[in-house]
Amino acid sequence: MRLPPLRQIDAPHETRTGVVDWAGAPFHELRLVFPVTRTNDHEAAVAHVLGRALLLAGSAGGRREVEQSFLRDGAKASSQPGVDRITLSLTAPPQQFPELLQRVMHQLREPNFCDRAATEAVEYEVMLARSTAGAREIELHQLSARRRWGAGHPYTRAIVPPERLEQVTAAELTDAAGRILGLQDAAMVFVGDLSGRAGDASVAALEEAVGRPWRATTTTIAPDTGCPVDPGLDRVAVGAGEPTGSYRLYAAAPTRQHPDHTALHVAGIALGGYFGSRLVRELRERQGAVYGVVTGFEVLHRAATLAVSMECPLDRAAKVREDTVRILRDLRQNGPDEAELRAAAQFAARGATVGLGTPASLASAGATVVFGGSDLQLWQRQAHEAGQLTPDDIVRVLRTYVADDALVEVLAD
Partner 1 sequence: MVLNTSAVERLDNGLTLVWSPRVTAGVATVAVHVAIGFRAEPEHCDGMAHLFEHLMFQGSAGVEPGEHFHRIEAEGGRVGGHTRHDYTEFFDVVPSDAVLTAVDLEADRLKGPRLSRHTLDAQVEVIRAEVAQQVEGVTFGGFPWRFLPEALYQNHCNTHDGYGDIPALTKVTPDDCAEFFDRWYSPDRIVVTIGGEYGGWAQQQRIRDRLTEIPARAAAPALHLDEPGLRADRHLERTAANAPSSIWAAGFRLPDPQTDPVAYAGCAALAHLLPTYRPELRLSARCGWYGIPLDAHTPDVFVVHTHPSATASGADLLELVRTVLGDFTDPAALPTVTETAQAQVGLADYMLDDRLGHHARRAGATQLLFCDPLLDAAAGALAGAAPASLARAAQHLLSQAAGTVRVDPMERA
Contacts with partner 1, 70-89, as mask; x by CB under 8 A: -xxxxxx-------------
Interface residues for partner 1 in 110-169 (CB under 8 A)? Answer: 131, 134-135
Among 78, 169, 225, 361, binds partner 1 (CB under 8 A): 361
Does 259 interact with partner 1 (rule: CB under 8 A)?
no
Interface residues for partner 1 in 13-42 (CB under 8 A)? Answer: 22-27
- Tell me whether residue 69 or residue 257 sits nearer to partner 1 (CB atom): 69
Count interface residues toward partner 1 (CB under 8 A): 66
Alpha carbons 285 and 274: distance in angstroms, whole number? 12
- Tell me whether residue 220 or residue 315 sits nearer to partner 1 (CB atom): 315
| Tally of helices (H runs) and strands (E runs) in the chain | 15, 11
Give the DSSP per-residue string, 320-366: HHHHHHHHHHHHHHH---HHHHHHHHHHHHHHHHHHT-SHHHHHHHH
Which residues 6+ apart lie within 8 Å of 56 measured at CB?
A: 62, 63, 66, 113, 117, 118, 120, 121
Query: Cβ atoms within 10 A of the Cβ of 5, count?
Result: 10
Alpha carbons 75 and 134: distance in angstroms, whole number? 35
Does 63 interact with partner 1 (rule: CB under 8 A)?
yes
> Whole-number minimum distance, CB 223 to partner 1, in Å?
30
Does 413 interact with partner 1 (rule: CB under 8 A)?
no
- Tell me whether residue 63 or residue 396 sits nearer to partner 1 (CB atom): 63
Among 78, 184, 219, 287, binds partner 1 (CB under 8 A): 287
Among 8, 197, 222, 239, binds partner 1 (CB under 8 A): 239
Closest CA to 219 of 302, 123, 303: 302
Does 379 interact with partner 1 (rule: CB under 8 A)?
no
> Whole-number minimum distance, CB 156 to partner 1, in Å?
24
> Whole-number minimum distance, CB 110 to partner 1, in Å?
26
Stretch that binds partner 1, among 45-53, 68-76, 143-151, 324-332 (CB under 8 A): 68-76
Interface residues for partner 1 in 307-336 (CB under 8 A)? Answer: 311-313, 316
Alpha carbons 271 and 296: distance in angstroms, whole number? 11
Q: What is the phi/psi pair of residue 173, to 5°?
A: -65, -45
Does 242 interact with partner 1 (rule: CB under 8 A)?
yes
Alpha carbons 108 and 31: distance in angstroms, whole number? 14
Q: Which helix (H) or strand (E) holds 6?
A: strand 6-7
> Whole-number minimum distance, CB 4 to partner 1, in Å?
6
Among 220, 241, 259, 413, binds partner 1 (CB under 8 A): 241
- Tell me whether residue 74 or residue 150 sits nearer to partner 1 (CB atom): 74
Strand bridging mode 407-412 / 234-238:
parallel
Query: Cβ atoms within 10 A of the Cβ of 137, count?
Result: 11
Does 234 interact with partner 1 (rule: CB under 8 A)?
no
Q: Which helix (H) or strand (E) holds 31?
A: strand 28-35
Among 184, 346, 380, 400, binds partner 1 (CB under 8 A): 346
Residues β-bridged to residue 249? 308, 407
CA-based radius of gyration for the chain: 22
- Tell me whether residue 82 or residue 245 sits nearer to partner 1 (CB atom): 245
DSSP alpha helix (H) spans, 188-252: 196-211
Alpha carbons 49 and 255: distance in angstroms, whole number? 27
In the Cβ-directed half-sphere of 211, how many Cα atoms lie within 13 Å? 9
- First and final C-alpha spacing in the chain: 48
Interface residues for partner 1 in 88-107 (CB under 8 A)? Answer: 91
Does 296 interact with partner 1 (rule: CB under 8 A)?
no
- Tell me whether residue 120 or residue 175 sits nearer to partner 1 (CB atom): 120
Stretch that binds partner 1, among 33-41, 228-236, 239-247, 330-338 (CB under 8 A): 239-247
Closest CA to 267 of 354, 328, 355, 350: 328
- Residues in contact with partner 1 by CB under 8 A are 1-4, 22-27, 63-64, 67-68, 71-76, 91, 131, 134-135, 193, 239-244, 274-276, 281, 284-292, 311-313, 316, 342-343, 346-347, 349-362
